[in-house]
A and B are shown apart, each in its own frame.
Chain A
Amino acid sequence: MIAVRDLALRVGGKPLLASMSFEIGAGEFVGILGRNGAGKTTLLRALAGLHPAEGGSVALNSRGIAAFSPAERSRAIAFVTSDDVFADRLTVREVVAAGRYPHHRWWQWTPEPQDAQAIAGALEAVELQSFADREFATLSSGERQRVWIALAIAQEAPLLFLDEPTSHLDLRAAQHILALLRRQVKAGKSVVCVLHDPNEAAAYADRAMLLAGGGILAFEEKELVLTPALLEQAYGLKMESVATASGARRIFPSAS
Protein backbone atom coordinates (compact mmCIF):
# COMPACT_ATOMS: atom_id res chain seq x y z
CA MET A 1 0.00 0.00 0.00
CA ILE A 2 2.71 2.45 1.04
CA ALA A 3 6.00 2.47 -0.79
CA VAL A 4 8.85 4.71 0.35
CA ARG A 5 11.84 5.33 -1.93
CA ASP A 6 15.02 7.13 -0.84
CA LEU A 7 13.04 9.36 1.50
CA ALA A 8 14.91 12.23 3.15
CA LEU A 9 13.32 14.47 5.79
CA ARG A 10 14.29 17.76 7.38
CA VAL A 11 12.99 19.46 10.49
CA GLY A 12 13.54 23.16 11.09
CA GLY A 13 16.07 23.30 8.24
CA LYS A 14 18.19 20.47 9.67
CA PRO A 15 18.46 17.07 7.98
CA LEU A 16 16.93 14.41 10.21
CA LEU A 17 16.49 11.20 8.24
CA ALA A 18 17.88 10.11 4.88
CA SER A 19 17.89 7.31 2.32
CA MET A 20 14.94 5.39 3.70
CA SER A 21 13.25 2.83 1.48
CA PHE A 22 10.62 0.35 2.59
CA GLU A 23 7.09 -0.86 1.99
CA ILE A 24 4.13 -1.41 4.27
CA GLY A 25 1.37 -3.73 3.11
CA ALA A 26 -2.32 -4.15 3.86
CA GLY A 27 -3.31 -5.76 7.15
CA GLU A 28 0.06 -5.15 8.80
CA PHE A 29 0.85 -3.84 12.29
CA VAL A 30 4.16 -1.97 12.25
CA GLY A 31 5.79 -0.57 15.38
CA ILE A 32 8.32 2.28 15.01
CA LEU A 33 10.87 2.61 17.82
CA GLY A 34 13.87 4.78 18.49
CA ARG A 35 15.29 7.38 20.81
CA ASN A 36 13.62 10.74 21.42
CA GLY A 37 14.56 12.94 18.48
CA ALA A 38 15.36 9.97 16.22
CA GLY A 39 12.66 11.14 13.81
CA LYS A 40 9.80 8.74 14.59
CA THR A 41 7.06 11.39 14.65
CA THR A 42 8.45 13.20 11.61
CA LEU A 43 8.60 9.96 9.64
CA LEU A 44 5.04 9.10 10.62
CA ARG A 45 3.86 12.56 9.57
CA ALA A 46 5.68 12.26 6.27
CA LEU A 47 4.03 8.88 5.64
CA ALA A 48 0.68 10.55 6.36
CA GLY A 49 1.44 13.35 3.91
CA LEU A 50 1.57 15.92 6.71
CA HIS A 51 5.30 16.63 6.45
CA PRO A 52 6.97 17.44 3.12
CA ALA A 53 9.69 15.15 1.80
CA GLU A 54 13.07 16.78 1.30
CA GLY A 55 14.02 14.07 -1.17
CA GLY A 56 12.71 10.76 -2.45
CA SER A 57 9.07 9.81 -2.44
CA VAL A 58 6.17 8.39 -0.46
CA ALA A 59 3.62 6.65 -2.65
CA LEU A 60 0.23 5.33 -1.63
CA ASN A 61 -1.04 2.63 -4.00
CA SER A 62 1.59 3.74 -6.55
CA ARG A 63 0.54 7.38 -6.44
CA GLY A 64 2.72 10.09 -4.86
CA ILE A 65 1.24 11.26 -1.57
CA ALA A 66 1.77 14.92 -2.52
CA ALA A 67 -0.61 14.47 -5.47
CA PHE A 68 -3.54 13.67 -3.18
CA SER A 69 -5.96 16.43 -2.26
CA PRO A 70 -6.25 16.87 1.53
CA ALA A 71 -9.65 15.18 1.59
CA GLU A 72 -8.55 12.30 -0.66
CA ARG A 73 -5.51 11.74 1.52
CA SER A 74 -7.61 11.74 4.69
CA ARG A 75 -9.97 9.14 3.25
CA ALA A 76 -6.93 6.89 2.81
CA ILE A 77 -4.87 7.71 5.90
CA ALA A 78 -5.96 8.52 9.44
CA PHE A 79 -3.33 10.11 11.66
CA VAL A 80 -3.70 10.03 15.45
CA THR A 81 -1.75 12.43 17.61
CA SER A 82 -2.23 12.74 21.34
CA ASP A 83 -1.36 16.45 21.47
CA ASP A 84 -3.62 18.01 24.03
CA VAL A 85 -6.21 20.50 23.01
CA PHE A 86 -8.49 23.17 24.43
CA ALA A 87 -11.74 21.26 23.98
CA ASP A 88 -14.13 23.91 25.31
CA ARG A 89 -17.45 22.14 25.75
CA LEU A 90 -17.07 19.54 23.03
CA THR A 91 -18.79 16.21 23.56
CA VAL A 92 -17.13 12.93 22.65
CA ARG A 93 -19.50 12.55 19.72
CA GLU A 94 -18.59 16.01 18.39
CA VAL A 95 -14.88 15.18 18.56
CA VAL A 96 -15.34 11.88 16.74
CA ALA A 97 -17.58 13.58 14.16
CA ALA A 98 -14.53 15.53 12.94
CA GLY A 99 -13.41 12.25 11.36
CA ARG A 100 -16.24 12.60 8.85
CA TYR A 101 -14.81 15.83 7.44
CA PRO A 102 -13.07 14.24 4.42
CA HIS A 103 -16.31 12.53 3.40
CA HIS A 104 -18.11 15.83 2.90
CA ARG A 105 -17.86 18.31 0.05
CA TRP A 106 -16.75 21.78 1.08
CA TRP A 107 -20.22 23.25 0.77
CA GLN A 108 -21.87 20.37 2.60
CA TRP A 109 -23.10 21.63 5.91
CA THR A 110 -25.27 18.86 7.27
CA PRO A 111 -24.34 15.27 8.19
CA GLU A 112 -25.67 12.25 6.31
CA PRO A 113 -27.06 8.98 7.70
CA GLN A 114 -23.79 7.13 7.05
CA ASP A 115 -21.97 9.72 9.22
CA ALA A 116 -24.02 8.76 12.27
CA GLN A 117 -23.36 5.10 11.46
CA ALA A 118 -19.62 5.59 11.11
CA ILE A 119 -19.45 7.57 14.37
CA ALA A 120 -21.46 4.95 16.28
CA GLY A 121 -19.29 2.16 14.82
CA ALA A 122 -16.10 4.00 15.79
CA LEU A 123 -17.30 4.55 19.36
CA GLU A 124 -18.20 0.88 19.56
CA ALA A 125 -14.76 -0.15 18.31
CA VAL A 126 -13.11 1.71 21.18
CA GLU A 127 -15.85 0.71 23.66
CA LEU A 128 -16.99 4.24 24.40
CA GLN A 129 -20.62 4.01 23.23
CA SER A 130 -21.93 5.16 26.59
CA PHE A 131 -19.54 8.15 26.54
CA ALA A 132 -20.96 9.73 23.38
CA ASP A 133 -22.60 12.66 25.14
CA ARG A 134 -19.97 13.16 27.83
CA GLU A 135 -17.86 16.30 27.69
CA PHE A 136 -14.45 15.42 26.27
CA ALA A 137 -12.72 17.58 28.88
CA THR A 138 -14.00 15.33 31.68
CA LEU A 139 -12.33 12.14 30.35
CA SER A 140 -9.18 10.44 31.63
CA SER A 141 -6.02 10.25 29.46
CA GLY A 142 -6.77 6.67 28.47
CA GLU A 143 -10.33 7.53 27.48
CA ARG A 144 -9.15 10.57 25.52
CA GLN A 145 -6.71 8.42 23.63
CA ARG A 146 -9.54 6.08 22.72
CA VAL A 147 -11.59 9.05 21.51
CA TRP A 148 -8.72 10.16 19.25
CA ILE A 149 -8.58 6.64 17.84
CA ALA A 150 -12.36 6.62 17.38
CA LEU A 151 -12.00 9.87 15.41
CA ALA A 152 -9.51 8.10 13.14
CA ILE A 153 -11.72 5.03 12.78
CA ALA A 154 -14.66 7.27 11.83
CA GLN A 155 -12.52 8.46 8.90
CA GLU A 156 -12.91 4.93 7.48
CA ALA A 157 -9.38 5.05 6.09
CA PRO A 158 -7.57 1.76 5.45
CA LEU A 159 -4.35 3.10 7.01
CA LEU A 160 -4.15 4.06 10.65
CA PHE A 161 -1.04 5.94 11.83
CA LEU A 162 -0.60 6.63 15.52
CA ASP A 163 2.02 8.75 17.27
CA GLU A 164 2.77 7.30 20.73
CA PRO A 165 -0.77 6.14 21.52
CA THR A 166 0.35 4.46 24.75
CA SER A 167 2.58 7.18 26.21
CA HIS A 168 1.31 8.63 29.50
CA LEU A 169 -1.13 5.74 29.92
CA ASP A 170 -1.29 3.26 32.77
CA LEU A 171 -0.57 -0.41 32.02
CA ARG A 172 -4.18 -1.39 31.68
CA ALA A 173 -5.15 1.53 29.44
CA ALA A 174 -2.09 0.89 27.25
CA GLN A 175 -2.95 -2.80 26.81
CA HIS A 176 -6.52 -1.80 26.00
CA ILE A 177 -5.36 0.54 23.25
CA LEU A 178 -2.97 -1.98 21.72
CA ALA A 179 -5.60 -4.73 21.78
CA LEU A 180 -8.11 -2.54 20.01
CA LEU A 181 -5.50 -1.60 17.40
CA ARG A 182 -4.83 -5.30 16.89
CA ARG A 183 -8.56 -5.79 16.25
CA GLN A 184 -8.39 -3.05 13.61
CA VAL A 185 -5.59 -4.98 11.91
CA LYS A 186 -7.68 -8.12 12.06
CA ALA A 187 -10.50 -6.18 10.41
CA GLY A 188 -8.14 -5.48 7.50
CA LYS A 189 -6.53 -2.13 8.32
CA SER A 190 -2.84 -1.41 8.39
CA VAL A 191 -1.62 0.12 11.63
CA VAL A 192 1.65 2.00 11.91
CA CYS A 193 2.41 3.02 15.43
CA VAL A 194 5.21 4.89 17.23
CA LEU A 195 5.90 3.02 20.48
CA HIS A 196 8.42 3.43 23.27
CA ASP A 197 8.24 0.01 24.86
CA PRO A 198 9.88 -2.79 22.85
CA ASN A 199 7.76 -5.31 24.76
CA GLU A 200 4.57 -3.63 23.54
CA ALA A 201 5.88 -3.87 20.00
CA ALA A 202 6.90 -7.49 20.59
CA ALA A 203 3.45 -8.37 21.89
CA TYR A 204 1.29 -6.61 19.30
CA ALA A 205 3.19 -5.67 16.14
CA ASP A 206 4.04 -7.83 13.13
CA ARG A 207 7.11 -5.93 12.08
CA ALA A 208 9.26 -3.43 13.95
CA MET A 209 11.26 -0.50 12.61
CA LEU A 210 14.18 0.80 14.61
CA LEU A 211 15.33 4.34 13.80
CA ALA A 212 18.84 5.45 14.73
CA GLY A 213 21.70 7.50 13.34
CA GLY A 214 19.61 9.44 10.82
CA GLY A 215 18.06 6.42 9.16
CA ILE A 216 16.58 2.98 9.54
CA LEU A 217 18.71 0.67 11.65
CA ALA A 218 16.44 -2.31 11.07
CA PHE A 219 12.99 -3.02 9.65
CA GLU A 220 12.07 -6.68 9.78
CA GLU A 221 9.91 -9.23 11.51
CA LYS A 222 9.77 -8.12 15.13
CA GLU A 223 11.77 -11.11 16.41
CA LEU A 224 14.70 -10.06 14.24
CA VAL A 225 14.57 -6.39 15.29
CA LEU A 226 13.76 -6.43 18.98
CA THR A 227 17.01 -8.09 20.00
CA PRO A 228 19.39 -6.93 22.72
CA ALA A 229 22.10 -6.26 20.15
CA LEU A 230 20.02 -3.97 17.91
CA LEU A 231 18.28 -2.21 20.79
CA GLU A 232 21.67 -1.55 22.42
CA GLN A 233 22.79 0.01 19.19
CA ALA A 234 19.67 2.18 18.93
CA TYR A 235 19.40 3.33 22.53
CA GLY A 236 23.04 3.15 23.63
CA LEU A 237 22.03 1.06 26.63
CA LYS A 238 23.02 -2.42 27.70
CA MET A 239 19.96 -4.65 27.21
CA GLU A 240 19.08 -8.12 28.39
CA SER A 241 16.38 -10.50 27.37
CA VAL A 242 14.66 -13.00 29.67
CA ALA A 243 12.15 -15.75 28.98
CA THR A 244 8.92 -15.66 30.96
CA ALA A 245 7.22 -18.73 32.41
CA SER A 246 4.89 -18.74 29.41
CA GLY A 247 7.84 -18.85 27.04
CA ALA A 248 7.55 -15.27 25.76
CA ARG A 249 10.66 -13.11 25.76
CA ARG A 250 10.85 -9.76 27.56
CA ILE A 251 13.59 -7.27 26.99
CA PHE A 252 14.91 -4.71 29.51
CA PRO A 253 17.79 -2.31 29.98
CA SER A 254 20.08 -4.09 32.41
CA ALA A 255 20.75 -2.33 35.70
CA SER A 256 24.30 -1.03 35.75
Chain B
Amino acid sequence: MILRFAALAAGLLAVAAGALLVGGTELSPGAIGNALLHPNSGEVATIVWQLRLPRIAIGAFVGAALAIAGALLQGLLRNPLVDPYLTGVSAGAAVAIVLSISAGVAAAAVPALGFAAGLATAVTVAALARRGASLDATRLILAGVSLSSLFAAVIALVLTRVQGGGSAPAIVSWLAGTLSGRSWGDMFFAAPYALLGAILAFLSAPALNALRLGDVRAAAVGVDVGRAQWTILASSSLLAASAVTLSGTIGFVGLIVPHVARRMVGSDARYVLAASALLGAALTIVADALSRTLFAPAEIPIGVLLAFIGVPAFLYLYLRDRRTAAA
Protein backbone atom coordinates (compact mmCIF):
# COMPACT_ATOMS: atom_id res chain seq x y z
CA MET B 1 0.00 0.00 0.00
CA ILE B 2 2.86 2.39 0.84
CA LEU B 3 4.41 1.61 -2.54
CA ARG B 4 1.15 2.32 -4.33
CA PHE B 5 0.86 5.69 -2.61
CA ALA B 6 4.50 6.47 -3.32
CA ALA B 7 3.82 5.72 -6.99
CA LEU B 8 0.74 7.95 -6.96
CA ALA B 9 2.65 10.81 -5.31
CA ALA B 10 5.56 10.41 -7.72
CA GLY B 11 3.11 10.42 -10.61
CA LEU B 12 1.56 13.64 -9.38
CA LEU B 13 4.97 15.31 -9.03
CA ALA B 14 6.00 14.15 -12.52
CA VAL B 15 2.77 15.46 -14.01
CA ALA B 16 3.21 18.80 -12.23
CA ALA B 17 6.82 19.08 -13.43
CA GLY B 18 5.74 18.24 -16.97
CA ALA B 19 2.99 20.86 -16.85
CA LEU B 20 5.57 23.52 -15.90
CA LEU B 21 7.15 23.00 -19.32
CA VAL B 22 3.89 23.63 -21.14
CA GLY B 23 2.82 27.11 -22.17
CA GLY B 24 2.77 29.86 -24.78
CA THR B 25 6.44 30.77 -24.19
CA GLU B 26 8.91 27.97 -24.72
CA LEU B 27 11.11 27.55 -21.65
CA SER B 28 13.90 25.04 -21.11
CA PRO B 29 13.89 22.81 -18.00
CA GLY B 30 17.11 24.56 -16.90
CA ALA B 31 15.52 28.02 -17.15
CA ILE B 32 12.49 26.82 -15.22
CA GLY B 33 14.66 25.24 -12.53
CA ASN B 34 16.59 28.46 -12.17
CA ALA B 35 13.39 30.49 -12.00
CA LEU B 36 11.97 28.16 -9.32
CA LEU B 37 15.04 28.77 -7.16
CA HIS B 38 15.09 32.55 -7.80
CA PRO B 39 11.51 33.83 -7.75
CA ASN B 40 12.49 37.45 -8.50
CA SER B 41 14.99 36.89 -11.28
CA GLY B 42 13.15 38.49 -14.18
CA GLU B 43 10.68 37.61 -16.91
CA VAL B 44 11.07 33.82 -16.82
CA ALA B 45 10.62 33.78 -13.07
CA THR B 46 7.46 35.86 -13.45
CA ILE B 47 6.04 33.42 -16.00
CA VAL B 48 6.86 30.45 -13.78
CA TRP B 49 5.75 31.95 -10.46
CA GLN B 50 2.82 34.10 -11.53
CA LEU B 51 1.37 32.12 -14.44
CA ARG B 52 2.33 28.48 -14.55
CA LEU B 53 2.76 27.52 -10.88
CA PRO B 54 -0.50 29.03 -9.68
CA ARG B 55 -2.32 27.37 -12.53
CA ILE B 56 -0.82 23.98 -11.69
CA ALA B 57 -1.45 24.46 -7.98
CA ILE B 58 -5.06 25.49 -8.61
CA GLY B 59 -5.53 22.54 -10.95
CA ALA B 60 -4.21 20.20 -8.29
CA PHE B 61 -6.35 21.89 -5.64
CA VAL B 62 -9.56 21.74 -7.67
CA GLY B 63 -8.95 18.18 -8.83
CA ALA B 64 -8.16 16.90 -5.34
CA ALA B 65 -11.15 18.72 -3.81
CA LEU B 66 -13.62 17.41 -6.41
CA ALA B 67 -12.29 13.86 -6.19
CA ILE B 68 -12.49 13.76 -2.38
CA ALA B 69 -15.98 15.28 -2.48
CA GLY B 70 -17.07 12.67 -5.03
CA ALA B 71 -15.61 9.77 -3.02
CA LEU B 72 -17.39 11.06 0.11
CA LEU B 73 -20.82 11.34 -1.51
CA GLN B 74 -20.52 8.02 -3.34
CA GLY B 75 -19.70 6.38 -0.03
CA LEU B 76 -22.36 8.21 1.96
CA LEU B 77 -25.16 7.45 -0.49
CA ARG B 78 -23.79 3.98 -1.31
CA ASN B 79 -24.23 4.93 -4.94
CA PRO B 80 -21.29 4.83 -7.36
CA LEU B 81 -22.99 7.10 -9.90
CA VAL B 82 -23.13 10.14 -7.65
CA ASP B 83 -20.95 13.17 -8.31
CA PRO B 84 -20.02 16.04 -5.98
CA TYR B 85 -22.42 18.43 -7.71
CA LEU B 86 -25.38 16.33 -6.62
CA THR B 87 -26.00 18.52 -3.59
CA GLY B 88 -26.63 21.48 -5.88
CA VAL B 89 -23.36 23.17 -4.94
CA SER B 90 -22.33 23.87 -8.51
CA ALA B 91 -25.79 24.88 -9.71
CA GLY B 92 -26.21 27.26 -6.78
CA ALA B 93 -22.78 28.77 -7.31
CA ALA B 94 -23.39 28.98 -11.05
CA VAL B 95 -26.64 30.92 -10.64
CA ALA B 96 -25.03 33.41 -8.27
CA ILE B 97 -21.99 33.84 -10.48
CA VAL B 98 -23.97 34.14 -13.70
CA LEU B 99 -26.34 36.67 -12.13
CA SER B 100 -23.52 38.71 -10.66
CA ILE B 101 -21.48 38.71 -13.87
CA SER B 102 -24.50 39.79 -15.91
CA ALA B 103 -25.36 42.44 -13.33
CA GLY B 104 -21.80 43.75 -13.55
CA VAL B 105 -20.78 43.01 -9.96
CA ALA B 106 -17.09 43.71 -9.34
CA ALA B 107 -15.03 40.71 -10.47
CA ALA B 108 -13.34 40.39 -7.09
CA ALA B 109 -16.66 39.77 -5.34
CA VAL B 110 -17.90 37.11 -7.76
CA PRO B 111 -16.12 34.04 -6.32
CA ALA B 112 -17.24 34.88 -2.79
CA LEU B 113 -20.85 35.22 -3.94
CA GLY B 114 -20.59 31.93 -5.82
CA PHE B 115 -19.12 30.18 -2.81
CA ALA B 116 -21.82 31.47 -0.48
CA ALA B 117 -24.61 30.56 -2.90
CA GLY B 118 -23.15 27.09 -3.48
CA LEU B 119 -23.05 26.37 0.23
CA ALA B 120 -26.51 27.87 0.74
CA THR B 121 -27.88 25.53 -1.92
CA ALA B 122 -26.21 22.52 -0.30
CA VAL B 123 -27.73 23.52 3.06
CA THR B 124 -31.17 23.83 1.46
CA VAL B 125 -30.86 20.43 -0.21
CA ALA B 126 -29.68 18.88 3.05
CA ALA B 127 -32.59 20.44 4.94
CA LEU B 128 -35.02 19.00 2.39
CA ALA B 129 -33.38 15.56 2.73
CA ARG B 130 -33.56 15.54 6.52
CA ARG B 131 -35.53 12.81 8.20
CA GLY B 132 -35.35 12.99 11.97
CA ALA B 133 -31.72 13.24 12.96
CA SER B 134 -30.44 11.58 9.83
CA LEU B 135 -30.49 11.88 6.09
CA ASP B 136 -32.69 10.24 3.49
CA ALA B 137 -30.53 9.34 0.47
CA THR B 138 -33.40 9.29 -2.03
CA ARG B 139 -34.71 12.65 -0.86
CA LEU B 140 -31.20 14.09 -1.05
CA ILE B 141 -30.83 13.00 -4.67
CA LEU B 142 -34.33 14.25 -5.59
CA ALA B 143 -33.81 17.62 -3.88
CA GLY B 144 -30.36 18.05 -5.44
CA VAL B 145 -31.56 17.18 -8.92
CA SER B 146 -34.66 19.37 -8.80
CA LEU B 147 -32.89 22.45 -7.41
CA SER B 148 -30.10 21.97 -9.95
CA SER B 149 -32.52 21.90 -12.86
CA LEU B 150 -34.33 24.96 -11.53
CA PHE B 151 -31.01 26.80 -11.44
CA ALA B 152 -30.07 25.55 -14.90
CA ALA B 153 -33.31 27.10 -16.15
CA VAL B 154 -32.45 30.42 -14.49
CA ILE B 155 -29.01 30.35 -16.11
CA ALA B 156 -30.50 29.61 -19.53
CA LEU B 157 -32.87 32.54 -19.05
CA VAL B 158 -30.03 34.89 -18.13
CA LEU B 159 -27.99 33.70 -21.10
CA THR B 160 -30.79 34.43 -23.55
CA ARG B 161 -31.17 37.90 -22.01
CA VAL B 162 -27.50 38.83 -22.20
CA GLN B 163 -26.91 37.35 -25.66
CA GLY B 164 -24.75 39.71 -27.64
CA GLY B 165 -23.98 41.70 -24.53
CA GLY B 166 -20.52 42.05 -23.06
CA SER B 167 -20.84 39.52 -20.28
CA ALA B 168 -21.87 36.43 -22.28
CA PRO B 169 -18.34 35.14 -23.02
CA ALA B 170 -17.33 35.43 -19.36
CA ILE B 171 -20.42 33.52 -18.29
CA VAL B 172 -19.97 30.76 -20.85
CA SER B 173 -16.31 30.34 -20.03
CA TRP B 174 -17.17 30.02 -16.37
CA LEU B 175 -19.92 27.49 -17.01
CA ALA B 176 -17.64 25.34 -19.17
CA GLY B 177 -15.00 25.27 -16.45
CA THR B 178 -11.60 26.89 -16.79
CA LEU B 179 -8.44 27.49 -14.82
CA SER B 180 -7.36 30.46 -16.92
CA GLY B 181 -6.88 33.84 -15.29
CA ARG B 182 -6.81 32.49 -11.71
CA SER B 183 -4.18 33.73 -9.31
CA TRP B 184 -2.63 32.73 -6.00
CA GLY B 185 -5.04 35.13 -4.34
CA ASP B 186 -8.08 33.25 -5.66
CA MET B 187 -6.65 30.02 -4.36
CA PHE B 188 -5.89 31.42 -0.92
CA PHE B 189 -9.47 32.64 -0.69
CA ALA B 190 -10.82 29.12 -1.22
CA ALA B 191 -8.08 27.16 0.55
CA PRO B 192 -9.21 27.47 4.20
CA TYR B 193 -12.70 26.14 3.41
CA ALA B 194 -11.33 23.27 1.35
CA LEU B 195 -8.81 22.48 4.06
CA LEU B 196 -11.57 22.35 6.66
CA GLY B 197 -13.56 20.12 4.31
CA ALA B 198 -10.57 17.81 3.76
CA ILE B 199 -9.88 17.49 7.50
CA LEU B 200 -13.53 16.61 8.14
CA ALA B 201 -13.40 14.14 5.25
CA PHE B 202 -10.41 12.25 6.58
CA LEU B 203 -11.77 12.24 10.14
CA SER B 204 -15.00 10.75 8.79
CA ALA B 205 -13.23 7.90 6.98
CA PRO B 206 -13.74 5.24 9.70
CA ALA B 207 -17.43 6.16 10.01
CA LEU B 208 -17.73 6.08 6.22
CA ASN B 209 -16.31 2.56 6.27
CA ALA B 210 -19.00 1.47 8.72
CA LEU B 211 -21.78 3.31 6.85
CA ARG B 212 -21.04 1.23 3.75
CA LEU B 213 -22.62 -1.70 5.60
CA GLY B 214 -25.92 0.13 6.01
CA ASP B 215 -27.19 2.68 8.53
CA VAL B 216 -28.44 0.08 11.03
CA ARG B 217 -25.12 -1.76 11.13
CA ALA B 218 -23.21 1.50 11.39
CA ALA B 219 -25.37 2.53 14.35
CA ALA B 220 -24.90 -0.91 15.88
CA VAL B 221 -21.13 -0.57 15.86
CA GLY B 222 -21.35 2.82 17.54
CA VAL B 223 -21.42 5.33 14.68
CA ASP B 224 -23.53 8.38 15.49
CA VAL B 225 -25.17 8.01 12.08
CA GLY B 226 -26.85 11.41 11.92
CA ARG B 227 -23.72 13.26 12.95
CA ALA B 228 -21.52 11.28 10.56
CA GLN B 229 -23.89 11.95 7.66
CA TRP B 230 -24.01 15.69 8.31
CA THR B 231 -20.24 15.86 8.70
CA ILE B 232 -19.66 14.03 5.43
CA LEU B 233 -22.21 16.19 3.65
CA ALA B 234 -20.71 19.40 5.04
CA SER B 235 -17.24 18.25 4.10
CA SER B 236 -18.13 17.39 0.51
CA SER B 237 -20.08 20.64 0.12
CA LEU B 238 -17.18 22.75 1.38
CA LEU B 239 -14.78 20.97 -0.97
CA ALA B 240 -17.05 21.16 -3.99
CA ALA B 241 -17.96 24.81 -3.35
CA SER B 242 -14.29 25.78 -3.06
CA ALA B 243 -13.50 23.99 -6.30
CA VAL B 244 -16.44 25.46 -8.19
CA THR B 245 -15.66 29.04 -7.17
CA LEU B 246 -12.11 28.61 -8.44
CA SER B 247 -12.67 26.81 -11.70
CA GLY B 248 -16.33 26.79 -12.64
CA THR B 249 -18.06 23.50 -13.19
CA ILE B 250 -15.45 20.90 -14.05
CA GLY B 251 -17.24 17.60 -14.40
CA PHE B 252 -16.18 13.95 -14.33
CA VAL B 253 -13.23 14.36 -11.94
CA GLY B 254 -15.52 13.85 -8.96
CA LEU B 255 -17.37 11.02 -10.65
CA ILE B 256 -14.59 8.96 -12.20
CA VAL B 257 -11.54 9.48 -10.04
CA PRO B 258 -13.01 7.69 -6.98
CA HIS B 259 -13.71 4.67 -9.19
CA VAL B 260 -10.13 4.56 -10.42
CA ALA B 261 -8.90 5.07 -6.86
CA ARG B 262 -10.95 2.12 -5.61
CA ARG B 263 -9.46 -0.06 -8.34
CA MET B 264 -5.97 0.91 -7.22
CA VAL B 265 -6.23 0.80 -3.42
CA GLY B 266 -9.34 -1.24 -2.61
CA SER B 267 -12.44 0.10 -0.94
CA ASP B 268 -11.20 1.19 2.50
CA ALA B 269 -12.41 4.81 2.69
CA ARG B 270 -9.13 6.01 4.25
CA TYR B 271 -7.16 4.86 1.21
CA VAL B 272 -9.85 5.78 -1.29
CA LEU B 273 -9.96 9.39 -0.06
CA ALA B 274 -6.18 9.80 -0.13
CA ALA B 275 -5.75 8.11 -3.51
CA SER B 276 -8.67 10.11 -4.95
CA ALA B 277 -6.98 13.35 -3.87
CA LEU B 278 -3.68 12.44 -5.57
CA LEU B 279 -5.32 11.08 -8.72
CA GLY B 280 -7.80 13.96 -9.00
CA ALA B 281 -4.95 16.48 -8.75
CA ALA B 282 -2.89 14.68 -11.40
CA LEU B 283 -5.80 14.24 -13.80
CA THR B 284 -6.79 17.90 -13.59
CA ILE B 285 -3.23 19.10 -14.15
CA VAL B 286 -2.91 16.88 -17.23
CA ALA B 287 -6.30 17.92 -18.58
CA ASP B 288 -5.45 21.59 -18.09
CA ALA B 289 -2.08 21.20 -19.82
CA LEU B 290 -3.83 19.52 -22.74
CA SER B 291 -6.57 22.14 -22.82
CA ARG B 292 -4.08 24.91 -23.42
CA THR B 293 -1.78 23.06 -25.86
CA LEU B 294 -4.00 20.94 -28.11
CA PHE B 295 -5.25 23.89 -30.14
CA ALA B 296 -2.78 26.54 -28.98
CA PRO B 297 -2.99 29.46 -28.91
CA ALA B 298 -6.72 28.80 -28.53
CA GLU B 299 -7.74 27.18 -25.26
CA ILE B 300 -10.47 24.56 -24.93
CA PRO B 301 -12.32 24.80 -21.62
CA ILE B 302 -10.99 22.12 -19.31
CA GLY B 303 -14.52 21.05 -18.42
CA VAL B 304 -15.21 20.31 -22.07
CA LEU B 305 -11.93 18.46 -22.49
CA LEU B 306 -12.56 16.34 -19.38
CA ALA B 307 -15.96 15.40 -20.70
CA PHE B 308 -14.34 14.24 -23.93
CA ILE B 309 -11.80 12.13 -22.02
CA GLY B 310 -14.10 11.25 -19.16
CA VAL B 311 -17.13 9.81 -20.89
CA PRO B 312 -15.24 7.20 -22.93
CA ALA B 313 -13.09 6.36 -19.90
CA PHE B 314 -16.19 5.89 -17.79
CA LEU B 315 -17.91 3.73 -20.38
CA TYR B 316 -14.77 1.64 -20.70
CA LEU B 317 -14.60 1.07 -16.93
CA TYR B 318 -18.29 0.33 -16.77
CA LEU B 319 -18.22 -2.17 -19.63
CA ARG B 320 -15.11 -3.89 -18.30
CA ASP B 321 -16.76 -4.20 -14.89
CA ARG B 322 -19.85 -5.66 -16.44
CA ARG B 323 -17.78 -8.19 -18.36
CA THR B 324 -15.84 -9.29 -15.27
CA ALA B 325 -19.07 -9.44 -13.29
CA ALA B 326 -20.63 -11.62 -15.98
CA ALA B 327 -17.57 -13.89 -16.27
Contact = CB atoms under 8 A, between A and B. Distances in A.
A88 B212 contact: yes
B324 to A, nearest CB: 11
13 contacts: A74-B220, A74-B221, A80-B220, A81-B214, A81-B220, A89-B262, A90-B267, A94-B209, A94-B266, A98-B210, A99-B221, A106-B203, A155-B221
Contact of A109 (B217, B222, B224, B270): B270
Interface in A14-69: 48, 50, 69
Given A75-B222, A86-B78, A98 B203 contact: no
A81 B215 CA distance: 11
B285 interface: no
Contact of A101 (B203, B210, B214, B268): B210
A72 to B, nearest CB: 8
A116 to B, nearest CB: 14
B39 interface: no
A98 B205 contact: no
Contacts of B203: 106-107, 109
A81 B217 contact: yes
A79 B213 contact: no
Contacts of A106: 203, 206
B216 A98 contact: no
A69 B221 CA distance: 11
Contacts of A74: 220-222
Nearest to A84: B214
A30 B210 CA distance: 28
Main secondary structure of the interface of A (DSSP, over half): mixed
A169 B262 CA distance: 32
Max chain A C-beta neighbours (<10 A), residue from B219, B220, B223: B220
Interface string A146-172: 001001100100000000000000000
Contacts of A91: 266
Contacts of B212: 85-88, 90
A97 B212 CA distance: 12
A215 interface: no
A251 interface: no
A98 B267 contact: no
A21 B212 CA distance: 35
Given A104-B206, A109-B270, A85 B213 contact: yes
A73 interface: yes
B80 interface: yes
Contacts of B270: 109
A81 to B, nearest CB: 5
Contacts of B213: 85, 87, 95, 98, 151
Contacts of A95: 213
Nearest to B205: A109
Nearest to B203: A107
Nearest to B209: A98
Nearest to A68: B222
B61 interface: no
B193 interface: no
A72 B80 CA distance: 32
A36 to B, nearest CB: 18
Contacts of B209: 94, 97-98, 101
Nearest to A79: B220
B262 A78 contact: no
B4 to A, nearest CB: 15
B202 interface: yes
Contact of B221 (A72, A86, A89, A101): A101
A102 interface: yes
Contacts of B206: 101, 104, 106, 108-109
A198 B45 CA distance: 82
Given A70-B222, A86-B78, A98 B268 contact: no
A88 B262 CA distance: 10
Interface in A92-143: 94-95, 97-99, 101-102, 104, 106-109
Contacts of A229: none
B72 to A, nearest CB: 15
Contacts of A148: 217
Contacts of B205: 109
A189 to B, nearest CB: 16
Contacts of B267: 88-90, 94
